[in-house]
Amino acid sequence: MSSQTPEKHTVEEYAVGILVALVTEEVAVTIMLDNEHAEIETPSSDEYVYTLGSMSGLNVVLVCLPKGEIGTSAAAAAVSTMTATFPFIKLVLLVGIAGGIPPQVRKGDVVVSVPEGQSPGVVQWDLGTRTEGGQFTRKGLLNRPPKFVLTAINALQKKHLRYGTQIPEFVEQAKRKEPRLQEMYSKSDQLQDFLFRSDYIHVHDEGDMQDYEGTAPCKSCDKTKTVQRPPRGIRVHFGGIATGNSVIRDAVLRDRLKKDLGDILTVEMEAGGMMNNCPCVVIRGICDYCDSHKDKTWQGHAAANAAALAKEFLGCLKKSSVNLDKEPSVKDIIGHIHEHVTSMESKISSGENQKILNWITNLNFGPRHSDSLHLRTPNTGEWLLASPEFKDFVTFREKTLFCPGMPGAGKSVLAAMVVQELVSRFRDSEKQICVAFVCCDFRDQANQQLDALLASLLKQLSANLRHFPNMIKVLYDKHNTQGTRPSVKDITGCLHAIAGEYSRVFVVVDGLDECPVEGGCRSKFILEIQNLQAQRPVSFFATSRNIPDITRLFQECPTLEIFATSDDVRRYLNYRMRELVVDDEIKCDTNLKEEIKTRIVEVVDGMYVDHKPLLKKSTYIFRFLLAKLHFDPLVEMSRLKDIRTALAKLATGVKAYDNAYRAVMERFQGQNTHRVNDAKKLLSLVIHAQWPLSVLELQHALAVEKGTTDLDPENIPSVKFIVSSCLGLVEIDEGSDIVRLVHYTVQEFFLRTHEEWFPNYMYWIAEICITYLGFDAFSSGPSPNEDEYIKRRTENPFLRYASCNWGYHAEAASLPTSKVMSFLEKKPQLEAASQGLQRKHCWESSSVERISEEGGHSQPL
């Protein structure tokens, strides 16, 4: 060994990883290094020991599996940890020994995995099915190496054809460098290469020591049973490799694998854990023939030959392919998974996988994301994408960017814009990158508990991974058969493992202030993401109102205040100017347009509160939402005077929201009586319902007539028409068809003032629930079976809500006992309602329950 002080490098300077399974292989690779490097401090969570050095002009990281750990799982865990510690690794070599499959290969030969035709170069021999006719159908095709690896293999083959292999030269150099290891790694006269016929079983003698290095193999076996072969030197083969989780010591099984799998040359145990997880080349020295005569006498020499070829291969690798100037990772080039799997197999797998994904959670934030994007006015919010904080967030791994903002500042729109930007930026990247999005909603807190929010992240990461994670299938099989749900610990365990499969993960969470607080859900959710970030390549973008309990958890992170700039508001107003209905002459009045924009911007800036100047950051309290509410009434005005009078009356300061909503309600009251009544009923249901209601549920609720025993189909209203009568206070979710308030400040306003606008409407809700449940449609009593119950619920969309919540509304409205008794006396209908209340659908869909203060037990609302 050189007495020189070893060079010290950073983790970013290592481009190639080498995995071995045995210490014999580890030493063989180590003595092939051109130089050894000084150790680097690794994270405490990384328990592996690495040998660092240079080989053929590239810096390499060598890791050996722990003693006693072999197979695909151990290999996958080691590589996952190594690439997390050394994130700029772009290629992993599996180097070591394996059993050969004759007649092409002999002991001491080296096999390199190379794809041919539809074969990816490595196939999993223990995954497949055998038909009645004996035909073997293989499953578990593994990933092909990326193009830069195949190009290097071509260069190596070309070099061998012209000049032969450098294996003997490199082994000789290693022997001179480490003379003490010469006996272990050299080919001596003691190494005899016997290939016995497949039907001849090894003969054991008492005291047989064939499993130990340096002993004579098969001394009691009949040498006349060997296959006669002419002598030859070492050869390098490029072809198929079989991988599995079992050691093969059976010549009959070996030959059958060759028949089933085609022209495979060797069998090993680690590649199955890696080929679908990173760009990988398998290099195996042949030490036995996978039969009962298997021994260890050739292991040292075979390991040395494999290590020498790894060095030779790296010399053929184009150095620009592992250029460290750009941000790479072993997962940079992950991809093309299942590229050569048949389309039918792919479709079947896809259907099964989707079933599992739906089982993880039904939460879907896609519609909210789309709705928010639709609200964005062109060219607004560009300041955020151009900010140094956001650029750093995108550029550097494991970054957090916390973006607080006041109500109506446009946080949700900007969060959706960030998701769109990240997806667009990395869409065509060869890197394995995922953008996961969570939108917290105060109106759906019952369905957004900690396990559900984490499950949503798990679902998104699993769905976007190029190969469907096996651990998710295992989790599904474990719980689905028992009818149980995974715990938070189960979910986070899978989340950590799958996040490690990605080059980068971006987690975008909008509206943390609307995340449930009960049980510590909000703080636990934030901390779980931060824990994930500490161990995996996760970047975290979050928006929220300025709430101390939330900002405290981000106090060490970069913060960027979210607001709609004055220019953003101007762009929004300019975009809507075409909606003004004044005549053409006034419509062309640029002074009027400028006056409208200037006044509304002045108002939403909220420059003074109680005649005291606000702090600069607080001048952005009232932005897009107020701009919309103030502009909407101008659209209906046809006189200049009316427009200017309305502008003059606009309020500023902390009461701006209340004043804006009151102005909307005054316009609301001015509509025709029939529209106002329907709109008030819809608003009452949206505000006071115990969970969000869909269009269909609202249609049936609004169609209920007092004193009737059936629903009249002709009385079912157009909810979309009624929504338009609410003048922008409610909206219909594009994906879920849920009708909701446009902003939580609307809810807060109506909770303070609902008696002013909707007197006695709690009484009306209780009445329609009881009337609906008393319909003759339910006079036959409970449904006799599952199919009939589902059919009843489908035909009567308001049934589930009314069954679960009529008692709550009756109590809240102090409904007279006589009205309640009139329903309770209808025994069949009562039993039908009870069936709906007792079924798990009620709780799974809404999680509507409360803890009784008196008894401390759960009871339905």
What confidence tens digit (pLDDT) does each residue in 538-587 have?
A: 999 998 877 777 888 888 889 888 766 677 778 778 777 877 766 555 55
Q: In angstroms, what CA-CA distances link 212 with 215, 222, 289? A: 6, 20, 17
Burial grade of 297 (CB within 10 A; 0-12, 13-18, 19 or more): buried
In this structure, the answer to whether residues 681 and 658 fall within a common structural domain is no
Q: Is 693 found in the same domain as 663?
A: no
Q: How far apart are CA 436 and CA 456, in angstroms?
A: 9
Phi and psi for 596 in degrees, rounded to 5? -60, -50
Are 518 and 652 in a shared domain?
Answer: no
Q: Look at residue 6 in the predicted model and tell me its pLDDT.
A: 83
- Of 527, 459, 542, whose CA–CA distance to 494 is shortest? 459
Query: In angstroms, how far is CA 838 from the centroid of its own chain?
Result: 34
Q: What are phi and psi of 529, to 5 degrees?
A: -65, -40
Residue 600 lies in a domain: yes
Residue after which a domain boundary falls, among 667, 684, 712: 667
**Distance between CA atoms of 405 and 547, rounded to whole angstroms?**
10
For 492-521, write each residue's pLDDT tens digit.
Answer: 888 988 998 898 999 999 888 888 888 889
d(CA 678, CA 746): 19
pLDDT tens digits along 428-485: 676 788 999 998 877 677 778 899 999 999 999 998 887 888 888 888 888 887 888 9
With respect to residue 139, please indicate whether it lies within any of the assigned structural domains.
Answer: yes
* One domain for residues 711 and 839: yes
Q: Are residues 267 and 298 in the same domain?
A: yes
Is 327 a domain residue?
A: no
What is the pairing mode between strands 538-544 and 400-404? parallel
pLDDT in tens, 316-335: 988 776 654 443 444 443 33
Q: Give pLDDT, residue 828.
A: 92
Least confident interval from 219-223, 252-256, 659-663, 842-846: 842-846
Is 720 within the bounds of a domain? yes
Instruction: Specify the pLDDT at position 249.
Output: 82
Q: For the chain, how many structural domains are there in total?
A: 4
Q: CATH no. for residue 218?
A: 3.40.50.1580
Cα separation, 753 vs 758, whole angstroms:
9
Q: Is residue 329 part of a domain?
A: no
Of 636, 628, 684, 683, which Cα lies nearest the Cα of 660? 628
Query: Are the C-beta atoms of 121 and 145 separated by less than 8 Å?
Result: yes
Q: Are residues 313 and 395 in the same domain?
A: no
Q: Report the distance separating Cα 122 and Cα 110, nearest Å.
A: 15
Identify the DSSP state of 144. P
Res. 250: pLDDT tops 70: yes
**CA 554, CA 661: separation in Å to the nearest integer?**
33
Same-domain check for residues 763 and 661:
no
Q: 452 and 438 in contact (C-beta within 8 Å)? A: no
Q: How far apart are CA 377 and CA 394, in angstroms?
A: 24
Give the model confidence (pLDDT) of 666-686 as tens digits. Answer: 777 777 777 788 888 898 899
Q: Would residue 587 count as lying in a domain?
A: yes
At 141, is the pLDDT very low, low, confident or very high (cuts 50, 70, 90)? very low
d(CA 620, CA 611): 17
Angle, CA of 393, 397 and 400, to the nearest 5°: 45
Residue 52 corresponds to which tokens in the numbers above? Answer: 């660092």
Cα 337 from Cα 348, distance rounded (Å): 16
Query: Max CA-CA distance within the chain?
Result: 114
For residue 60 the two structure tokens come to 């390499």
* Closest of 840, 722, 715, 734 to residue 772, by C-alpha: 715
Establish how many alpha carbons lie within 13 A of residue 327's alpha carbon, considering only the half-sphere containing its beta carbon.
11
Nearest one of 723, 721, 728, 726 to 738, comparing CA atoms: 723
Token couple for 755: 């008696």
Task: Convert 52-84 to b/e letters by CB count within 10 Å (16 or more is b).
Answer: bbbbbebbbbbbbbeeeebbbebbbbbbbbbbb
Cα 262 → chain centroid = 37
Q: Is residue 5 part of a domain?
A: no
Shared-domain flag, residues 351 and 243: no
* Residue 854 placed within a domain: yes
651 and 696 in a common domain: no
Is residue 90 within 8 A of residue 255, CB to CB? The reply is no
What average pLDDT does the structure give for the chain?
Answer: 79
The pLDDT value recorded for residue 211 is 46
- The verdict on 108 and 223 lying in the same domain is yes
Secondary structure class of 149 (helix, strand, coil): helix
Domain stops at, among 554, 579, 614: 554
Look at residue 160 in the predicted model and tell me its pLDDT: 94
Residue 456 belongs to a domain with what CATH number? Answer: 3.40.50.300
Among 667, 688, 716, residue at a domain's last position = 667
Domain with 152, as residue range(s), is 11-322
Q: Does 744 lie in the same domain as 595? A: no
* Four-residue CA torsion sign, 583, 587, 589, 595: positive
Query: Which range has the worst mean pLDDT, 256-265, 353-362, 676-685?
Result: 256-265
C-alpha–C-alpha distance, residues 462 and 491, integer Å: 12
- 710 in the same domain as 617: no
Distance CA 656, CA 810 (A): 35
